[in-house]
Structure 1
Amino acid sequence: MNRTTPSTHPSSDKGHSVVAAPVTAHPLAELIAHEIRERGGWMGFERFMELALYAPGLGYYSGGRRVLGQRPQDGSDFVTAPELTPLFGEVLARQVLQALDATGTDEVWEFGAGTGALAEQLLGELGDRIQRYVIVDLSGSLRDRQHQRLLKAHPSLVHKVIWADSLPEAMSGVIVGNEVLDAMPVHLLSWDGARWQERGVALAPQGDTPHPTFAWADRPAPEGVRPPTEHPDSAYPPGTVTETHGQAEAFVATLAQRMVRGAAFFLDYGFPEAEYHLPQRHGGTLMCHHAHTADADPLAMVGDKDITAHVNFTGIALAGQEAGWEVLGYCSQGRFLTNCGLGEALARTGQASNAADIQSRVALQMLVAEHEMGELFKVIGFVKGPWFEAIGFAHGDRTHTL
């Protein structure tokens, strides 16, 4: 499965809503419990999600888990587009190549490179057109997998690959981020029918269990804090939960500020703001992944499963623009891949008889089908420097909806 499985979200109650998670023996739970006590018994969800995913040596992405793979049997939790089929990177490379040529740059920066599958595909397609391929990934275990994979796939090109721990003050080239924004910690807001509350995490009564368990706990949000939307508060039913994306927007703004010349493309699941905050989406968009199954309880199995939230692409667009980028376009992933030459890739595999080619064709169709990843996933592009008509947005551009 991929990270598109629908989920529900725990409803909220006025004041403290205690929804205790199952007992966990993960040492990360002890670390979080200690910090909650240090903070006076309450922790904002953004900090909880940050620790659950990225606490050094213990978090989901920083603790050495396999994370990415095709099946639960291999110990993985989910699969992303580049692992489904190499045709994904082949098609995306056409957009990257056009952007390199249009901006006169020769570097690719990939954020959250996963297993290295997309890096392998882009390096294979772009070859000598790029001088450096820079990977920024917080997971040490994934870095090791990336290096081994690229060393095996492209021994003559791997010298171009650099793993960066931080961003330089100035950068140029083409940025690629596939399913990276959704994994950035979010704030939670809940509506009790009278005012917005900030949703956080407290310790649940421990009882006879030897390890800490967690519970949802709401407290009044600061004056004026509410979802960034024109929907009136009265449109939300009591119990509504939604997210705000301060870290993702700050990340995009930082990249925009430091980019001297180049372009950026982010592929992820999400909506424009007007759709993100529709009253009927009252449960929020938080989703967790473990062993290729999805659930909506981030307080359970802390450190042993992924936590994500759908992206508010309007917020991402505004953050990029305010920091100096221009929006190249915004459309569905299905339309973007089609614009970049999906039809040609499918035609080459149309008469395929071997299992690998047939599997790639089926996977690619899943990436573009409206009832699969093709519509839920979106692509947004930015540029700093010469404007160009990006091929990925040639048809079906929805920038006007942002």
Structure 2
Amino acid sequence: MISLYYNLIPMPTMPIASEIEIQLSEQLKTKIIQAIHSSQGWISFDRFMEFALYDPEFGYYNGNLRKFGEKGDFVTASEISSFFAKTMCIQFEEIFLSLDKNIIEIGAGSGKFALEVIQSLDSKKIDHYFILEISHSLRKRQYELLIKNLPPHLFSKVQWIDKIPQEYNGIVFCNELLDALPVDLIKKSSGIPYQKGVGLENDLFIWKDKAIKDLSTYDHINLESLPDNYLAEDAIHIKSWINNISESISKGVVIIIDYGFNHSEYFHEQRSQGTLMCHFKHHAHDNPLIQVGIQDITSHVNFSYVAREASSKGLHINGFISQANFLINCGILELLEKVNIEDSLLYMKSVSEIQKLLSPSEMGDLFKVMTIEKNIDINLVGLKNNNKVKTL
């Protein structure tokens, strides 16, 4: 997840963690220290990141601390405005003309997007809304929000699942999911590529590098041409994630919304320190070795790599477009026209929300929409103008 640039609070120092947050972080730190000791003083960064985000007891996404919204650490599009979900429903309805009326949302966050989609589509336009959520605390929060705000006949459409059902027919939707998958960190120094990992010094986490012996493992990064002192992320879980999508879906459309770049932009010479970022109470910084378990850790998505892996599994990538262009193509500005302009407070609020979703300086350009199809061919309305799929 990303803390939006416009939502960052200018702070010279890190926000202060509460006593509860410090206690939770120390408990997770103890578990990681034990793992490092049992692994001869070193663990890879992707394993460290997996502990920090997904440890069953104390990981960031499994804890009970508030993560979304103004009182959390970051804001997603669905938290900003209901226009996001309403606009996505226009695309969903078009897809449902060719597919079963099923949606799987992977990583549903607070549940706000699911609520607004189900309310917008109503019972006649959707058969099932599946939520694939690994966090028990988020499942609980989603359940409480949906059962409180949906009538029984709509709540009955919702089902929490642990994996994508076999022979699934429908839409798979994920917003700000891939950026939260653990990554390895690779750096080149004096012509030698290293895998960055985590070690210990006086019970504090420190960076500890290991020389990479088998370069073929990182063929999509091209280590030989990587400049010295260039830091890159290796999204090692993308391959298995795509493989799971390919094996589970019989017919469907996958919609991925996340912040990132194509390959040439991702490995731009000016991006020499990588894209890894941490977010704590809307404060962005680049040190993942502190505040473990109570801050988000994220990296931008290399969409060209996602496309390569998807293509290798026989999936068809038919869209790569900025979030702004996708939402405009789907009709978000026409939805704004339906707001009563005489209600000046409501109208200005709506304009402000949509501006945050579309503005190049906020979410509009940094966030991309990738669409992947299996056993279906649809000319999606969201891709009708400014589709950049050929740049992948």
- SS of 1:382's partner is strand
Counterpart for residue 285 of structure 1: 275
Aligned to 2:13: none
Q: Which residue of 1 aligns with 2:59?
A: 59
* Aligned equivalents of 1:158, 1:177: Cα separation in 2: 20
* 2:78 aligned partner, one-letter code: P
CA shift digits 1:103-158 (9 cap, x unpaired): x2121000110011110111112222211100011111111111121122222301
Q: Is the 8 A contact 2:45 2:183 kept in 1?
A: yes
Tell which deviates more after alignment, 166-175 or 277-286. 166-175
1:308 aligned to 2:298?
yes
SS at match of 2:139: helix
Deviations 1:284-322 (A, max 9, x none): 000111111111111010001000000010111122222
Find the counterpart in structure 2 of residue 348 from structure 1. Answer: 338
Identify if the C-alpha distance between structure 1 residues 352 and 321 changes in structure 2 by more than 3 Å, giving closer, same or farther. farther
- 2:157 maps to 1:184: no
1:268 and 1:48 map into 2 onto residues whose CA distance is: 23
Mean CA deviation greater in 293-302 or 350-359: 350-359
Which stretch has the larger CA shift, 254-263 or 321-330? 321-330
Give the one of 213, 219, 222 matched to 1:222.
213
1:200 alignment partner AA:
G
1:373 is paired with a residue whose SS is coil
Q: Equivalent residue for 1:159? A: 156
Q: 8 Å contact 1:227–1:242 — kept in the other structure?
A: no
**Structure 1 residue 167, shift from structure 2 partner:** 2.9
Q: Work out whether 1:144 is the aligned partner of 2:134.
A: no
- Does the 8 Å contact 1:326/1:382 carry over to 2? yes
2:270 is equivalent to residue 274 of structure 1 = no
- Deviation string 1:187-227 (CA, Å, 9 cap, x unpaired) is 110110311100111012x1xxxxx3201111101321446
Cα 1:367–1:352 shift into 2, 3 Å: farther
SS at match of 1:41: coil
TM-score (norm 2): 0.91
Unaligned segments of structure 2, at least 5 residues: 9-21
The Cα offsets for residues 322-364 of structure 1, whole Å up to 9 and x where unpaired, read as 2232112110000000001011022223716354553232121
> In the alignment, which residue of structure 2 is the partner of 1:94?
90
1:358-389 per-position Cα deviation (integer Å, ceiling 9, x unaligned):
32321211111111110000000011122010
Alpha-carbon separation, structure 2, partners of 1:317 and 1:376: 18
Change (3 A) 1:24 1:364: same
Q: After superposition, give the CA deviation of every residue in 1:61-102 in whole Å (9 maximum; x if it has no partner).
A: 012221112x2xx3x111100010000000011111111212
The DSSP-based 3-state class of the residue aligned with 1:40 is: coil
Shift, 1:171, TM fit: 1.4
1:107 aligned partner, one-letter code: N
Alignment-mate amino acid for residue 374 of structure 2: K
State the secondary structure of the residue aligned to 1:375. Answer: coil
**How far apart in 2 are the matches of 1:57 and 1:271?**
33
| Number of the residue aligned with 1:259 | 249
Identity of aligned residues (%): 33
Q: Which residue of 2 aligns with 1:41?
A: 41
**In the aligned structure 1, how far is the partner of 2:190 from the partner of 2:91?**
46
Residue identity matched to 2:133: D
CA distance in 1, matches of 2:129, 2:66: 23
Matched, 1:106 2:101: yes
Offset from partner CA, 1:149-179 (integer Å, 9 cap, x none) = 1122222301110001223332121010000
**1:19 — aligned with what?**
none
Of stretches 300-309 and 151-160 in structure 1, the one that deviates more from structure 2 is 151-160
Letter in 1 for 2:167: A
3-state SS, counterpart of residue 280 of structure 1: helix
Within 1, Cα distance between the matches of 2:262 and 2:339?
Answer: 34
**Number of equivalent positions:** 375
Q: How many angstroms apart in 2 are the aligned matches of 1:241 and 1:213?
A: 22
Change (3 A) 1:263 1:42: same
- 1:191-206 → structure 2 map (5 Å cutoff): 191-204=188-201, 206=202
Runs of 4+ in structure 1 displaced over 3 angstroms? 4-7, 22-25, 229-232, 354-357
- Aligned-partner Cα distance in 2 for 1:190–1:160: 47
Secondary structure of residue in 1 paired with 2:162: coil
Moved more, 263-272 or 380-389: 380-389
CA drift at 1:5: 3.5
* Equivalent in the alignment of 1:170: 167
Match of residue 12 from structure 1: none
CA contact (8 A) 1:227 1:244 kept: no
Q: 3-state DSSP class of the match of 2:369?
A: strand
Normalised to the residue count of structure 1, the TM-score between the two structures is 0.89
CA distance in 2 between partners of 1:231 and 1:195 (Å): 9
Write the distance in 2 (CA, Å) between the matches of 1:143 and 1:354.
37
Sort the Cα spacing of 1:2 and 1:277 in 2 relative to 1 into closer, same or farther, 3 A. Answer: closer
Distance (Å, rounded) in 1 between the aligned partners of 2:218 and 2:345: 51
Residues 230-283 of structure 1, C-alpha deviations (whole Å, 9 max, x = no match): 6862x62x3211101121232122112210011110000000111111122100
Corresponding residue to 1:324 among 314, 320, 330: 314
CA contact (8 A) 1:2 1:292 kept: no
- The 1-side partners of 2:29 and 2:361 are apart by 37
For 1:2 and 1:217, how far apart are their aligned partners in 2?
26
Secondary structure of the equivalent of 2:73?
strand
CA contact (8 A) 1:133 1:160 kept: yes
SS of 1:147's equivalent in the other structure is helix
Q: Distance in 2 between matches of 1:201 and 1:145?
A: 33
Is 2:121 aligned against 1:126? yes
Tell me whether 338-347 or 305-314 shows the greater mean CA deviation.
338-347
Distance 1:80 1:227 in 2: 33
Residue of 224, 229, 248 corresponding to 2:238: 248
